[in-house]
Homo-oligomer: A and B are copies of this chain.
Amino acid sequence: FPLVSNVFSIVEKTCSKDPDTRKFIHCVKVGIALVLVSLLYLLDPLFKKVGGNAMWAIMTVVVAFEFFAGATLSKGVNRGVGTILGGGLGCLVAILADEIGGIGHAIAVATSVFIFGAAATYSRFVPSVKKKYDYGVMIFILTFSLVVVSGLRAGTVMKLARERLLTIGMGFAVCIFTNLLIFPMWASDELHRTTAFKFENLARSVEGCLEEYFALVGEKEIQPSANIVSICSSMLHSKSNEESQANFAMWEPWHGKFGLSYPWEKYLQIGEVTRELASTILSLKGCLQSSRQPSPTLRQSIKQPCEIAGLYLASILRELGQSIEEMKKCRAKVLIVPHLHTMKAELSSVTSHSLLEGSENGEGLAMAGFLFLLTGTVEKVEVLAKEVEELGEIAGFKTK
């Protein structure tokens, strides 16, 4: 058994890092879940119990089996609650409509379908409902309509609803079993990891920008660093992805190192600041590509302080990323922020000196722009450091 668990932990480590392996594992899991749920049809004793309703179990597996554990849980619970509410209300309305009888019956059914369908659709426009319960509301409309209209025909509407719910429950159980017990992919892990990794990317981008700016001066060739642009742009568009991951992460409360009420919203706030920082770095990169470049000698005059600032910014960013990754507190307000203030003051004094030199021929503009954006970067890193410290406090990170 130690061997098996060893293999397991190795596979788990690989799969958490290599996206292709994870995709492959997910596909195999879907296949397993489908086979398991097919057994409802394939095994005679099971089929005798559930009958044609086994269809609903298959449907549940296909529809609710998502990549992340939290997404599967959220869809499954949405589906379950939507079915129960829709079925319950549907039964009630079907019974009431039955009391009326005759042609009034059909009219009552049609009216209720119209009113509940339209009202539920309207609720899907409400942002908070749309974000978390959109799928549940859709299932509510579906079940309600099915139960109300078929209640007329099926006669035993309660029995129908109960059986369907039972098979949906079976499908959900199969989903949960395969999704959460076989190499689960946690959205919470993913969000935590990508957030920590962002800092490394930002650090590299800052370094890359400064290197490129002063490589123009030295003997080295200009290395094309288009990857700074692509890294930062992809970061800019990470918002919706992050929001859905945070949403799924909230559905995974009992998981591993994250406690019951882990502050996922704080990750979204940190994400927002990293996007602002990425946007500033993109502007900084834009300076490098601008046609109005200051002369090498002018640039040389600011090289040393800027490079020191860049190195320090990168090391701070890496420290913050590490603090998140290892869940250790960082004492940003005491240890980092004062340094950043000094750095800002130094950059400002550099500017005043060098501007005087370059201002006669417009070169100063480009350089002042560069220094201004660098100062902006320092300011954003300061905000980020404070946010990370706050996260450490709220989430109860260990003290170093």
Contacts and interface: CB of A to CB of B under 8 A. Distances in A.
A250 interface: no
Contacts of A24: 122
A117 interface: yes
The dominant DSSP class at the A interface is helix
Nearest to A32: B114
B364 A42 contact: no
A337 interface: no
Interface in A331-381: 348-349, 351-352, 355-356, 359-362, 364-366, 368-369, 371-373, 375-376
A201 interface: no
Nearest to A42: B106
B352 A41 contact: no
A286 B42 CA distance: 65
A282 interface: yes
A38 B109 contact: yes
Interface string A6-33: 0000000000000000011011101110
A58 interface: yes
Nearest to A348: B362
A31 B368 contact: no
Contacts of A365: 348, 351-352, 355, 368, 371-372, 375
Contact of A31 (B114, B142, B359): B114
A42 B369 CA distance: 72
A85 interface: no
A146 interface: yes
A215 interface: no
Interface stretch (A184-192, A233-241, A321-329, A386-394): A233-241
A59 B58 CA distance: 15
Contacts of A89: none
Contact of A237 (B119, B142, B240, B286): B240
Interface of A: 23-24, 26-28, 30-32, 34-35, 38-39, 41-42, 47, 52, 54-55, 58-59, 62-63, 106, 109-110, 113-115, 117-119, 121-122, 125, 138, 141-142, 145-146, 149-150, 152-153, 236-237, 239-240, 279-280, 282-283, 286, 292, 348-349, 351-352, 355-356, 359-362, 364-366, 368-369, 371-373, 375-376
The 9 A-B residue pairs whose C-beta atoms are closest, nearest first, are A369-B372, A368-B368, A31-B118, A31-B114, A41-B149, A355-B359, A27-B118, A34-B117, A62-B142
